[in-house]
Structure 1
Amino acid sequence: MTKKTYSGFTQKTSENLLLDAGAFFVNYEIDTDTFESAVTAGKLLGATRGGGQFNATPEIRTIEVDGVKGKAKGLQVIDAWDVSLSANVLEVTKEGLARALVASEVDDKTNEKYDIIKAKNYIELTDYIDNITWVGKKSGTLEPVIIQVYNVINISGLGLQTQDKNEAVIAMTFTGHYDADELDNPPFEIYYPKSTPTKPQEPTEP
């Protein structure tokens, strides 16, 4: 009697894999941007080492009812969403340092040799970034998976560790926030490509 192998592996498995670390963009426009045009426009957050992570965690509250001795189906409500997109950024740029500081301003006039990045003690609406977007490769399709988090600020602050024979990496965690005009929509969207062939199909003869 042979033992049966139980596995989730199917013929479709190779078409549903997220590959590699992907890339992170600032203010990526779904309707007009492509990966190439966004790179050309300077929207890259920067090269990364160690990739990043997306989290969308609902805060769920169970309504308690007398006589029900546990959690009952249908009595859960979502009180809030905690949404974030983190990236381990290898490139240390002026813009990256300013974003990491959450609330900051750049003085490019006082000093002839240096731009001066200054932190602020308050957060203004202009400190929020419209979106941070992850674009990554999915097997089985020509189109990427795109994850956007909206109205973000980096809540992890700025930490720089330097050492010999290594490069500094800035860990940024961008947290999404509700917009006053979009209170019914959690501040993120996932664009998952429809199934398309990985190679262009040859035209059929009439």
Structure 2
Amino acid sequence: MATTHQTHGITRQTIKNMLLDAGAVYVNYGETDERLIGATSGGNTFTVEREIKIIEIDGARGKVKGARRITEENAVLTINLLEMSAENFKLMLTAADVSDWLDTDGSTVIGKVIKPRGQILDSDYVKNIALVATVSGTDQPCVIILKNVLADDELEIELEDKEEGKPEVALSAHYDPEKVTEPPYEIRYPAVSTT
């Protein structure tokens, strides 16, 4: 007797297992110094780049099960940052110091000064960056966490009439030197009701 299979992937669980909207980005998620990075515009993108080596074995006629290994794995969260702040400028510049901006007589703080630095220090690495997204059918979020994070590439803010500056910022996870075989990211997905 022939088995009948569906010709589409939709099930009762489908509407309970979708990621919705752009999500919110947090710096140091779950830590005492956690902060919301602020508004983004144009969405956020989580990317895992992997290099997988296929081990060539004499006598094999093609790919052999078990004869593959991951030789490189990098996780990146790319955001289109709309909300500017001294903390966000420091994050985007990778290596920078923030100090008080004082008025001319030096008695009143009127803002912050962000000064780029030519050397990346251990303290420049953010403990983690998290993208918190809505999962349909649940009140619990999906949380994607990147660890030991620095911004990559250049900082470019395009300003023009009737538009908002929203630099694209690539935030990369970095391996802990004491745990170089442990990928520096994780995905926390909530339990979804089966009813």
Which TM-score bucket, shorter chain as reference? 0.7 to 0.9
Q: CA deviation at 1:12?
A: 1.9
8 Å CA contact 2:101–2:110 kept in 1: the answer is no
Instruction: Give the match for residue 101 of structure 1.
Output: 93
- Segment drifting more, 62-71 vs 150-159: 62-71
Whether 1:58 aligns to 2:50 is yes
Distance 1:42 1:192 in 2: 20
Cα RMSD between the aligned structures? 2.2
AA at the equivalent of 2:52: I
Structure 2: gaps spanning 5 or more residues: 1-5, 104-108
Task: Map residues 14-33 of structure 1 onto 2, 5 A cutoff.
Answer: 14-29=15-30
8 Å CA contact 2:124–2:150 kept in 1: the answer is yes
Q: Give CA deviations for 1:18-39 in whole Å, capped at 9, x if unaligned.
A: 111110000011xx78xxxxxx
Distance 1:186 1:67 in 2: 33
Q: CA deviation at 1:120?
A: 1.3
Q: Give CA deviations for 1:130-153 in whole Å, capped at 9, x if unaligned.
A: 000011110111111011000010
Distance 1:87 1:186 in 2: 21
Instruction: Give the match for residue 135 of structure 2.
Output: 138
Instruction: Give the match for residue 165 of structure 2.
Output: 168
Q: Greater strand share, 1 or 2?
A: 2
Distance 1:11 1:115 in 2: 52
Task: Map residues 139-158 of structure 1 onto 2, 5 A cutoff.
Answer: 139-158=136-155
Distance 1:197 1:62 in 2: 38
- Cα pair distance change 1:42/1:27, threshold 3 Å: closer
8 Å CA contact 2:13–2:194 kept in 1: the answer is no
Whether 1:74 aligns to 2:69 is no
AA at the equivalent of 2:189: Y
Whether 1:128 aligns to 2:125 is yes
Distance 2:191 2:85 in 1: 36
SS at match of 1:115: strand
Distance 2:115 2:101 in 1: 13
Q: CA deviation at 1:110?
A: 5.8
Structure 1: gaps spanning 5 or more residues: 34-40, 199-206
- Cα pair distance change 1:74/1:197, threshold 3 Å: closer
Distance 2:58 2:81 in 1: 51
SS at match of 1:57: strand
8 Å CA contact 1:45–1:96 kept in 2: the answer is yes
Instruction: Give the match for residue 47 of structure 1.
Output: 39
Instruction: Give the match for residue 113 of structure 2.
Output: 116
Q: Give CA deviations for 1:56-90 in whole Å, capped at 9, x if unaligned.
A: 22211111222334332211111121111111110
Instruction: Give the match for residue 3 of structure 2.
Output: none
TM-score after normalising by structure 1: 0.82
SS at match of 2:36: coil
AA at the equivalent of 1:153: L
8 Å CA contact 1:142–1:197 kept in 2: the answer is no
